[in-house]
Amino acid sequence: MSKFAFIIHPISLEDIFRKFNFMRKWPRPLVEGLIRRMPPLKVSEITGVASPHASTSGYFVSVSMTSDQMVNLPAGYTIKKIIKAGKHAEKLGARIVGLGAMTSVVGDAGVTVARNLNIPVTTGNSYTIATAMEGVERAAKLMGVNLEDAECAVIGATGSIGNVCARLMSQKGVRYLTLMARDKRKLEHAADNIYRETGTSVKVTSDIKKSLPRADIVVAVSGSEDTLVEPHDLKPGAVVCDVARPRDVSVSVAQKRDDVLVLEGGVVDVPGDVNFNFNFGFPPRTAYACMAETMILALEGKWESYTLGREISIDKVEKITGLAKKHGFKLAGFRSFEKAVTEEEIEKIRQRALIARQ
């Protein structure tokens, strides 16, 4: 059976402390220095991925660096560590490797990593885009929001995922769209592209805090290591699909705002009796869409670097959606801050938002 591997990393030091509690008392710089010197590690074996057409198994391999380190240490250093993890995956017998969380964001989004490995690499971003869009459409419907009339925003709209999400939203008829990120020049370039593709004129802003309170629908997909969305930034009834890892939306939104719907983007049901043998905070048999893309490619025997770099074609998003359906992957139920959200709860949020708006 041909195997896959997926590269993960601790999102923050908290992930390290959960495993090595005694380190909590140590000075942070000491812990940070220690972990980033650790070699790549096989974290667990993933078994039982089975579609009606094929089956596969794989490994989680860890790069021992936090998101903060990945963003703030020189990209070359981080990329070397990711390549080492990829080589480790090769030795384990993987025929394809997926890049998780910030390992797909640093540097050139997997291009250099792929060039230095003998097996194909994918960021998983094509399927992440597909599931984020599907999630937004389903959630908007339940909250009674018509996407064509809604104020929509994409945070991280010049990024590999955010840019395609923005283009797809415009193609689906969204008329009021604001692209958000830090670099104004890149934002204007993205807006020009959308105008050329769909004839829709979209707004751009680097002042997220100012524009966010107007948004009915937010796709949050920045590469920021810090949260960008706080409780007071959202209007009653807003639907936020938080695709970013680490999250863009502060957990305090869950505590302080019961009139907005914040969903985790890209949570997928995996076919078969899959066991990840590792707890990444999801219910059994569910995974991130980027992990799922790696599994889909392994099941299909498509040993190619499917999604790399920051230019993702809509054609690839559509093709991976078709392959996902063929192999029995589908969007899981809604989740918010690591908890399941039922349609009844969504209805209650909608009612509270109606009252808050009066």
Ligand X SMILES: NC(=O)c1ccc[n+]([C@@H]2O[C@H](COP(=O)([O-])OP(=O)(O)OC[C@H]3O[C@@H](n4cnc5c(N)ncnc54)[C@H](OP(=O)(O)O)[C@@H]3O)[C@@H](O)[C@H]2O)c1
Q: Starting at the earlier edge strand, list the strands of the sheet with 261-264.
A: 203-205, 176-180, 151-155, 217-220, 239-242, 261-264
- Map residue 235 onto helix, strand or coil: coil
Stretch that binds ligand X, among 48-56, 73-81, 102-110, 252-260 (CB under 6 A): 102-110
182 forms part of the interface with ligand X (CB under 6 A): yes
**Residue with smaller CB distance to ligand X, 310 or 326:** 310
Give the nearer residue to ligand X in terms of CB position, either 244 or 353. 244
- Out of 5, 109, 113, 341, which residue is the one contacting ligand X (CB under 6 A)? 109
The residue type of 223 is G
CB nearer ligand X, residue 27 or residue 281:
281
Q: Is 217 helix (H, G, I), strand (E, B) or coil?
A: strand
Q: Which residue has the tokens 């579609």?
A: 51
CB of 339 to ligand X, least distance (A): 16
Site track 296-335 with ligand X (rule: CB under 6 A), x = hit:
--------------x-------------------------
Nearest distance from C-beta of residue 5 to ligand X, angstroms: 16
Which listed residue (42, 84, 87, 186) binds ligand X by CB under 6 A? 186
Residue in 104, 112, 305, 307 binding ligand X, rule: CB under 6 A:
104
- Residues numbered 256 to 275 that lie near ligand X (CB under 6 A) are 265-266
What is the b/e burial string over 62-93, where b = at least 16 CB atoms within 10 angstroms of the residue's CB?
A: bbbbbbbbbbebeeeebbebbbebbbbbeeee
120 touches 98 (CB < 8 A): no
Q: What is the three-class DSSP state of 55? A: strand
333-353 b/e with 16+ CB inside 10 Å = b? ebbbbeeebeeeebeebbebb
Per-residue contact track with ligand X, 116 to 155, x per CB under 6 A?
--------xx--x---------------------------
Among 14, 148, 149, 183, the residue binding ligand X under the rule CB under 6 A is 183
285 touches ligand X (CB under 6 A): no
The one segment of 14-22, 78-86, 96-104, 112-120 that binds ligand X by CB under 6 A: 96-104
Full strand arrangement of the beta sheet holding 267-269: 286-288, 267-269, 330-331
- Residue 168 DSSP symbol: H
The pair of structure tokens assigned to 188 is: 């204007």
Residue nearest to ligand X as judged by C-beta position? 159
> Does residue 110 bind ligand X (CB under 6 A)?
no
For position 162 contacting ligand X by CB under 6 A, the verdict is yes
